Chain A
Amino acid sequence: MTLTVFYLLSALSVFSGLMVVLSRKAVHSVLYLVFCFFTIAGHYLMLNAQFLAAVHVIVYAGAIMVLFLFVIMMLNLNLAAEAQKTPWIKISAVILSGLMLLVLVASVKGAEELSAAQPQNDIGLVKNIGNILFDKYLLPFELISLLLLSAMVGAVLMGRKEPQPQNE
């Protein structure tokens, strides 16, 4: 039963991932990516990482993808057809990524099935995540605020309209 659900979710995420890459219209790519993120949230739920699933939906599907959609609408890209790369570059891109997949798969193919160390079933709960976050990962947590601060400054500097346009 769980294995069936896993295969179904995996097939959906791989399909939508492929459609992100292959669909011609930018808006379709965004929508497929949103769908892909929802299937990944489903994977998190299957792993019993509930907080992660919620955060994933809120941050990715709720915020980041909306921003992408926003930019595509704002730049009005759905009218202009995207320029294509030459067929040779396309073929080599597919071959290259296929080779990378081959290497990745081959490197873990021989690995034996790691025996599960009796996973605690509730490490994904908010409380336990918080315990670890404020204990072992305190410094990264504080540094994240600096990252967000710099991102804010960068976005404001670049996204703001210039006070007086020079020659327009």
Chain B
Amino acid sequence: MNILQTIPLNHYIMLSALLFSIGAMGVLLRRNAIILLMCVELMLNAVNLLFAAFSVHHADGGGQVMVIFIMTVAAAEVAVGLAIIVMMFRKAGTTDINLFDTLKW
């Protein structure tokens, strides 16, 4: 009944790499700041999945504890990030990141 004897670890690595790349593509492709934040979440989840797979593989629960920490950090990030985006929307009336270039030198 050991799942990892039927699913090789490499499969999980490939899946994580694929999801991470999709997230990165989204960050490069989209202009809506909210979608950008969502793509970052997707990338974080790819890493989480890899953490969990390795944790089970090495029979070490530390990886799964780390996943919970990452989820907490993601929640805090989303909370503050969305607050910032809403603030910027109220100032500029858009969430298009290309228009937020005041800090650009």
Chain A interface (Cβ < 8 Å from any Cβ of B):
2-3, 6, 10, 13-14, 17-18, 20-21, 26, 29-30, 33, 36-37, 40, 43-44, 46-49, 51-52, 55-56, 59-60, 63-64, 67-68, 71-72, 74-75, 77, 80, 82-85, 89-90, 92-94, 96-98, 100-101, 104-105, 108, 111, 113-114, 116-121, 123-124, 128-129, 131-133, 136-137, 140, 144, 147-148, 150-151, 154-155, 158-159
Contact A33 B41 (CB under 8 A): yes
Docked pose: A114 CA to B8 CA in angstroms: 8
Given A48-B3, A98-B21, A104-B17, residue A93 in contact with residue B28 (CB < 8 A):
yes
Across-interface contacts of A111 in B (CB, < 8 A) = 10
CB distance from B102 to the nearest CB of A (A): 17
Query: Which of chain B's residues 66-80 have a Cβ closer than 8 Å to chain A?
Result: 67-69, 71-76, 78-80
A-B contacts, 6 of them at CB < 8 A, read A6-B7, A44-B52, A93-B25, A117-B57, A124-B56, A151-B75
Flag whether B58 is at the interface (Cβ < 8 A).
yes
Within residues 44 to 60 of chain B, which ones have a CB less than 8 A from any CB in chain A?
A: 45, 48-49, 52-53, 55-60
Which of B24, B31, B69 has a CB less than 8 Å from the CB of A97? B24
How many B residues touch A, CB cutoff 8 Å? 74
B window 5-47: CB within 8 A of A: 5-11, 13-15, 17-26, 28-32, 34-35, 37-39, 41-42, 45
Q: Which residues of A contact B17 (CB under 8 A)?
A: 101, 104-105, 108
Contact of B29 among A21, A49, A108, A151 (CB under 8 A): A21
